[in-house]
Amino acid sequence: MNLLYKSMRWSIGILAVVLTVFAALSIWMSTNIVLLIAQENIEVDSYLNSQTANVGKILLGEKVQVLSCDDLKSYSATHVSLKIRQEGYVIKGKFRLELFPFWSAVDRPISFSCPPAWH
């Protein structure tokens, strides 16, 4: 009886570890790397700091890291990280978001999920 109890405990423990690893791998593999690719010159605005309205520019064809998709009161904005180590929001302008799988060789921006309408 004691041997059966120990075997069951070991089996349940191993199953729990396997399921945890599988769940972590599934989440990691389902994430995408997202880049914003400018289709025209785009002004990047600062939402939080009203003293510096314009924090930079994204030039035509340039790719920048997307940090998140945010709902800024009455409109949606794409939160980006510029190559000059500044962050800001793309409020308007022509661009596309490009998804890369996690195993892609592109530089590693933060992974997240934007609403489907934004893709």
- Span 109-115, mean pLDDT? 50
Q: What is the reported pLDDT for 103?
A: 61
pLDDT value at 108 more than 60: no
Torsion angle in degrees (nearest 10) through CA of 103, 39, 118, 44: 100
H or E segment to which residue 12 belongs: helix 2-30
Residue 35 CA to residue 16 CA, distance in Å, equals 36
- Do the beta carbons of residue 66 and residue 118 sit within 8 Å? no
Task: Give the residue, 105 or 9, on which the prediction is more confident.
Answer: 9
Instruction: Answer yes or no: CATH 2.60.40.10 is held by domain 32-118.
Output: no
Q: Which of 26, 20, 85, 25 is nearest to 55 (CA)?
A: 85
- Span 76-82, mean pLDDT? 86
Task: State percent of the chain over pLDDT 90.
Answer: 14
23-61 pLDDT, tens digit per residue, is 776 665 556 678 899 999 999 988 665 555 788 899 999
Quickly state the pLDDT bin for 119 (edges 50, 70, 90): very low
Question: Mean pLDDT of all residues in the chain?
Answer: 77
Q: What is the reported pLDDT for 34?
A: 81
Q: Is the pTM of this model over 0.85?
A: no
